[in-house]
Structure 1
Amino acid sequence: MSGEAAEEYSPRDPNSSHHLHSNSSPITLKFFDVSYRVKLQDSTTSKLTTTAITNMFHGGASPPSADVENPSSATQHHQILNGITGMASPGHILAILGPSGSGKSTLLNIIMGRLHHTHGQTGTVLFNNRKLTKSVIKRTGFVAQDDVLYPNLTVRETLVFCSLLRLPSWVSKKEKIAVAESVIIELGLSKCEHTNIGNNFIRGISGGERKRVSIGYEMLVDPSLLILDEPTSGLDATAAYRVVATLRGLAAKGKTVVTSVHQPSSRVYQMFDDLLVLSEGRCIYFGKGSEAMEYFERVGFSPSFAMNPADFLLDLANGVCQLDNASEKEKPNVLQTLVSSYNDLLAPKVKTACVDAPATASEDRTIIGNHEKNKYYVYTNSFSTWYNEFSILLQRNLKERKHETFNSLRVFQVITASLLAGFMWWHSDYKDVQDHLGLLFFISIFWGVFPSLNAVFAFPQERAIFVKEMASGMYTLSSYFMARITGDLPMELILPTLFISITYWMTGLNPEFSAFTLTLIVVLGYVLVSQGLGLAFGALIMDAKQASTVVTVTMLAFVLTGGYYVHKVPCFMVWVKYVSTTFYGYRLLINVQYGDGRRVSSLLGCSSVGHDPATCKFVDEDIKGQIQPVMSVGMLLIMFVGYRLLAYIALRRIRT
């Protein structure tokens, strides 16, 4: 771990030098009477905790299906948010405080327009008195609760690649890198900039540093509004303080900062300007953080001893406090009292203040280096822009996967398989047709299953990052897709080349170099088709375990109908043979070794008396009875394009 505990961090001076300067107009955020509910088909709806529901809405996920005890019961609604009103101003931090399941994440997702199922959503969200637009989205940074970063990239590489992709095309590469470096300094990440991000399985930076990298991801575009979903979750008190100190420094520069928090320390609480307290989807306080305790004391709730204000407010939100001087019999419903007090005393004032608060909406301009241009430029899908995205994404993909691409285990697996095959078929005779066909079919099986199962994990593993970056408009889907499948080619092509180079000469296959070259070309083409199959299923299912199971079953069907085990396939299964990648790959390998079969048939004397009937049957059915090579090549080409096109379409569905 990087030594965050030893690092002293304080926000940089707002007037300090920065390669990216902006006189972008601030954003005043207002939301009025925001409510949200979902339909649940369960008579025991009340048993469902709001936590289980709201956790499903991180990133705009679909509403969950309830575990039902009585599926035939009438549809009911579960209210997640109920009439929330508030405002966040430039230069201020608005903290949304509440226990788990109070609706904090749902409110943030509604503000960002990330909930796609809007049939249960009411209320109004305004940015400078206007509704959400693409221009506002570009000026808004959203930091999710979970840090979605590439674990094998360093801090510097992560922010540099992000800068290269997110900043406008008119900014030079040198200036983009300078922006990333200044963000690293500003966030106090200099000591760990060359350390890998890491994750639960890979050693890397600390949790607090990882959270600051996520904030830096958004700071690169100098957002006017920064929204964070529980940025201190899972951090110790010191790390949490440093993260909020970072936000305090951003707010000092005129940014509008909105963050949800679960259980802040007292010194973190003191850095919040404004406070919104939620309880079971209802508001029980909105106002200045420094005035919250005074308000609750006024309505009859005060701590019996000195304590962290945040802890006391969470106790109130959970309904575990009681009115001062109330006996057990006189105890009213705490939450009901808090909601009623808010509606009577604060709600009218809050709505009036939100309506009357001024908001600016001037044109934003950005100064980078010596350039000044409209920051929120119109995106042009020119080839040069596309190629620039592709090349940056390809570089990032190669760096991220360099440890995985040629890891020792996979290389050992391929070399071991090639040596086993080489020794099993060691210098087998050309006339041993049955043995040679078995070898060719083994090659077809191995290089059908191996790449397809590896490719299944490509898109499911990157889904969270892909969705996050596409939502930010960092690149086009086509440039990401091409970079992703191109970055896998070294592994997909070099390992089969190594396999064939070892096995071919050990097993006594056709010794002509042209035959070896054609065999290698067929295997490489077949590998790319099999890889496409894995990519397609991975993108369609987007669950690595389920997709790998489907691919395994599919490859099993392809192998069984591939033409070696069974020649007379039942009528209702014949169609599988003609969509089998194994069938066409196996036929091409046979054609390279034996051509039309006349030579081997003559050598074996299949047309004369005394021939081996079993061997000659293999010649007649497997070699002479094959389809035209042109048809096999054509079908593999169709599959090569078709599987990748299917994967691309599936990714478009996920993006939207």
Structure 2
Amino acid sequence: MDESQHLLKQKQQNSEEQQTTNINYGTTIIPSVRFQIQEEENKLPSVCISWHNLTIKHPKSGRIILDNVSGMAKSGQLVALMGASGAGKTTLLNTLLSRNLKNLSVQGKVLINGQEMGKQITFVSGYVQQDELFMERLTVKEHLLIQAKLRLVGSSEKQIKKRVSEILNDLELRSCRHARIGNRGIKKGISGGEARRLLFACELLSNPQIIFADEPTTGLDSFMAESVINVMKKLAQSGRTVICTIHQPSSTIYRQFDLVMFLASGRLAYFGEPSKTVEYLNSFGYPCPRNYNLADSMIQCLSIEMYNEEICKERISKICDEWETSENALKLRDELEDQKKILVEPERRKRATFYVQTSALFKRSILDNIRNPGLAKAKLSQKLIMGLFIGLLYFQTSPLNFIGISNLNGAMFYIVVELTYSTLFGIITFMPNDFNLIVREYHDGLYNILAYFIAKIFSYIPLFALDGIVLVGSSYWMTGLVPNVFRFGIALGIAVLIEQSAAAFGVMLSTACPSYPVAISVAGPILTVLSLTGGLFANVGELPSFISWVQYLSWFRYGFEAFAISQWEGALGDNQPKNCTNFNNNTIACPTASSVLHNLSFNPAMFYFDIGAMILCTFICYFIGFIGLYVRVHRAR
């Protein structure tokens, strides 16, 4: 049974039990979604948001996007911003929210209870955006619990769970609370209507006084669109101020708005009750046809047709000019002046502590990683298969003559390569996967970027450590490496450090490159150069001077050298038996650890330096990665 049928059946049952409220508009009866406003929500303080003479333009081109637009919305009102495409409604909403105004010149004021708040409006409002951005592998309840920890500052675990339970009931999400959210069109999950209500649920957790919504009905069928608007209407009736942009609402939805604001070419064409738009159009000689959608009729009058551009512009200019001198416009200006005198500080939501932010985000990332088959099961399976393959390929390599030592050097270097490539290309999606979600939640004031970065990095550490352990653990004893638990432990530690170096480098590329394809294109050549200077393909002591410096940037070299020092010191030591010829003689070879390492131009005394170099490489790359993420998120506002 699809969601529409499920809701219809549920509403019929609720009607029989007299648990729903019917909203009557003339001859149309709209069954409202069961939405029980909690008692404490009726005690919301009165809030009025007003915008005064807003003019927005592009400084370079001089193009005016909004031209002297004013308006207001009070507690208990559901206000719709409408207009044809390009009319300026989205820009107006962004201006009210102080978002996405980069490279724009802004004149005018936005006041809340008579006070300018700027970007701090985030802490007194909720913003339901059009895009449904979630961690798709989380369930609905898990998502809300994590959001509640970030939004309900100072609340106990019991209070958080109670609030989440209330929201699940209020927005009729209880039936899908254990379902994974999914990604529409890509990964099966909850329905479109449920996803849209989940957006509202997140914003309602902190009980905001003002709610903004950008195209809340886009992509929904008429039935689900009505249910979403019913929710918004109930929110307004509970004492909140609700403002939304909307495109082509049905007649039923249009009548639910308390006020509608029509924009045309950046100017204000009408601001008032929906029912009076018929009278307004008639006054200009543009009567609305019988049984025609009022919203569509109004938008048609305010649209510019391709082949009648001049006539349309004259009509729009006439309507906007008439509005500026109308009685309603004069009343609005008087009310706006009164609002400037009301200086009441609205209640602000506090930001969670750094520890709470980090712990909540860490839990979310861990859940997402564990349920990611490509990052968890597939990678571990790949490491096990490759480990067994290496073990079989170099099975019990002996004797330790020239060929045997060369084979084991190859096995150790391949382990370094396998750990690097799989880790780096697995984490290089660090930015593309989450970027839009980070931008949204950061600008919603939920957390700072450092908390997200630390939580994300630490959530990867266990997975990558396990990768290295599986690869080395499945190949070590088969290949003929030193059969010693201590040396085995060192090999595991080196494997983990190699993976962390590769992961840090991948994060750095992910945040520094503008897109995923660019990051992949850049990563390939860099890894080739670093691997070629890693100590196996070319002797690091014989590299040309103009390229020799590259080896000091290569964790391939540090990892391979540390691995080789640990193994050959454990396998050979420095006591060469008598009657042994030179190491390079393949007939009889009794090499020492020093001779093997010297042949590779490795210094046995550099073991701890190599360990420290990999740790330093990891921290430097993570630091650069954090700076890249910080800059890109801030530029995205």
Q: What's the TM-score bracket when you normalise by the shorter of the two chains?
A: 0.7 to 0.9
Change (3 A) 1:331 1:509: closer
Q: Is the 8 A contact 2:150 2:351 kept in 1?
A: no
Q: Secondary structure at the match of 1:306?
A: coil
Q: Which amino acid aligns with 2:436?
A: A
Q: Is the 8 A contact 1:102 1:278 kept in 2?
A: yes
Query: Which residue is 2:114 aligned to?
Result: 129
Per-residue displacement from partner, 1:615-637 (whole Å, max 9, x unpaired)? 98975331655661122112112
C-alpha separation in 1, matches of 2:172 and 2:150: 23
Query: Which residue is 1:572 aligned to?
Result: 546
Within the candidate set 520, 539, 542, 1:548 is matched to 520
Within the candidate set 31, 36, 51, 2:56 is matched to 36
C-alpha separation in 1, matches of 2:201 and 2:163: 11
Matches within 5 A, 1:95-114: 95-114=80-99
Q: Is the 8 A contact 1:449 1:552 kept in 2?
A: no
Query: Which residue is 1:206 aligned to?
Result: 191
C-alpha separation in 1, matches of 2:548 and 2:89: 56
Shift of 1:134: 6.5
Q: Is the 8 A contact 2:419 2:468 kept in 1?
A: yes
Unaligned stretches of 5+ residues in structure 1: 40-74, 365-374
Is 1:607 the equivalent of 2:582? Answer: yes
Query: Which residue is 1:52 aligned to?
Result: none
Q: TM-score, normalised by structure 2?
A: 0.87
Within the candidate set 354, 360, 379, 2:336 is matched to 354
C-alpha separation in 2, matches of 1:29 and 1:491: 48
Is 1:336 the equivalent of 2:335? Answer: no
Shift of 1:160: 1.6
Shift of 1:363: 5.7
Q: Is the 8 A contact 1:97 1:277 kept in 2?
A: yes
Q: Is the 8 A contact 2:482 2:571 kept in 1?
A: no
Change (3 A) 1:254 1:240: same
Per-residue displacement from partner, 1:166-204 (whole Å, max 9, x unpaired)? 1022x2110111111111111122222222111132111
Query: Which residue is 1:289 aligned to?
Result: 274
C-alpha separation in 2, matches of 1:94 and 1:6: 29
Q: Which amino acid aligns with 2:333?
A: K
Query: Which residue is 1:582 aligned to?
Result: 556
Q: Which amino acid aligns with 1:101?
A: G
Q: Is the 8 A contact 2:151 2:351 kept in 1?
A: no
Q: Which amino acid aligns with 2:630?
A: R
Query: Which residue is 1:243 aligned to?
Result: 228
Matches within 5 A, 1:242-281: 242-281=227-266
C-alpha separation in 1, matches of 2:361 and 2:86: 37
Deviates more, 1:422-431 or 1:120-129: 422-431
Is 1:534 the equivalent of 2:512? Answer: no
Per-residue displacement from partner, 1:454-473 (whole Å, max 9, x unpaired)? 12212331122222222233
How many residues align? The count is 600
Deviates more, 1:401-410 or 1:151-160: 401-410
Q: Which amino acid aligns with 1:470?
A: Y
Q: Secondary structure at the match of 2:117?
A: coil
Q: Secondary structure at the match of 2:189?
A: coil
C-alpha separation in 2, matches of 1:388 and 1:255: 28
Change (3 A) 1:322 1:354: farther
Q: Is the 8 A contact 1:277 1:284 kept in 2?
A: yes
Change (3 A) 1:13 1:241: closer
Q: Is the 8 A contact 2:358 2:451 kept in 1?
A: yes
Query: Which residue is 2:371 aligned to?
Result: 403
Is 1:27 the equivalent of 2:5? Answer: no
Query: Which residue is 1:371 aligned to?
Result: none
Is 1:3 the equivalent of 2:12? Answer: no
Q: Which amino acid aligns with 1:220?
A: L
Shift of 1:273: 1.0
Query: Which residue is 1:490 aligned to?
Result: 462
C-alpha separation in 1, matches of 2:225 and 2:131: 15
Within the candidate set 565, 575, 579, 1:591 is matched to 565
Q: Which amino acid aligns with 1:355?
A: E
> C-alpha root-mean-square deviation of aligned residues, in Å?
3.1
Is 1:194 the equivalent of 2:162? Answer: no
Query: Which residue is 1:557 aligned to?
Result: 529
Q: Is the 8 A contact 1:428 1:435 kept in 2?
A: yes
Shift of 1:506: 1.6
C-alpha separation in 2, matches of 1:560 and 1:608: 24
C-alpha separation in 2, matches of 1:608 and 1:529: 33
Query: Which residue is 1:414 aligned to?
Result: 383
Query: Which residue is 2:161 aligned to?
Result: 177
C-alpha separation in 2, matches of 1:353 and 1:278: 20
Query: Which residue is 1:523 aligned to?
Result: 495
Deviates more, 1:155-164 or 1:117-126: 117-126
Within the candidate set 66, 70, 76, 1:81 is matched to 66
Q: Secondary structure at the match of 2:482?
A: coil
Q: Which amino acid aligns with 1:196?
A: R
Per-residue displacement from partner, 1:585-628 (whole Å, max 9, x unpaired)? 01111111112997489479453895569998975331655661
C-alpha separation in 2, matches of 1:615 and 1:571: 33
C-alpha separation in 2, matches of 1:38 and 1:219: 35
C-alpha separation in 1, matches of 2:433 and 2:313: 50
Shift of 1:347: 4.4
Shift of 1:343: 3.4
Shift of 1:321: 12
Q: Is the 8 A contact 1:33 1:85 kept in 2?
A: yes
Q: Is the 8 A contact 1:319 1:334 kept in 2?
A: no
Q: Is the 8 A contact 2:41 2:238 kept in 1?
A: no
Matches within 5 A, 1:400-549: 400-404=368-372, 407-429=376-398, 430-431=400-401, 432-541=404-513, 543-549=515-521
Shift of 1:22: 6.6
Q: Secondary structure at the match of 2:361?
A: helix
C-alpha separation in 1, matches of 2:112 and 2:485: 69
Unaligned stretches of 5+ residues in structure 2: 12-31
Shift of 1:407: 4.2
C-alpha separation in 2, matches of 1:653 and 1:641: 18
Identical residues among aligned pairs (%): 24
Is 1:394 the equivalent of 2:362? Answer: yes
Change (3 A) 1:587 1:624: closer
Change (3 A) 1:13 1:609: closer
Q: Which amino acid aligns with 1:158?
A: H
Deviates more, 1:88-97 or 1:336-345: 336-345
Q: Is the 8 A contact 1:24 1:363 kept in 2?
A: no
C-alpha separation in 2, matches of 1:644 and 1:320: 53
Kindly report structure 1 stretches of 4+ aligned residues shifted beyond 6 Å. 328-332, 612-618
Q: Which amino acid aligns with 1:416?
A: I
C-alpha separation in 2, matches of 1:609 and 1:552: 35
Change (3 A) 1:579 1:110: same
Q: Which amino acid aligns with 2:508?
A: A
Is 1:138 the equivalent of 2:100? Answer: no
Q: Is the 8 A contact 1:561 1:583 kept in 2?
A: yes
Shift of 1:240: 0.8
Change (3 A) 1:570 1:283: farther
Deviates more, 1:404-413 or 1:465-474: 404-413
Query: Which residue is 2:27 aligned to?
Result: none
Change (3 A) 1:612 1:263: farther
Q: TM-score, normalised by structure 1?
A: 0.84
Q: Is the 8 A contact 1:229 1:260 kept in 2?
A: yes
Matches within 5 A, 1:360-371: 362=344
Q: Is the 8 A contact 1:301 1:321 kept in 2?
A: no
Deviates more, 1:328-337 or 1:438-447: 328-337
Change (3 A) 1:321 1:521: closer
Per-residue displacement from partner, 1:195-220 (whole Å, max 9, x unpaired)? 21111321111111111111111111
Change (3 A) 1:551 1:249: same
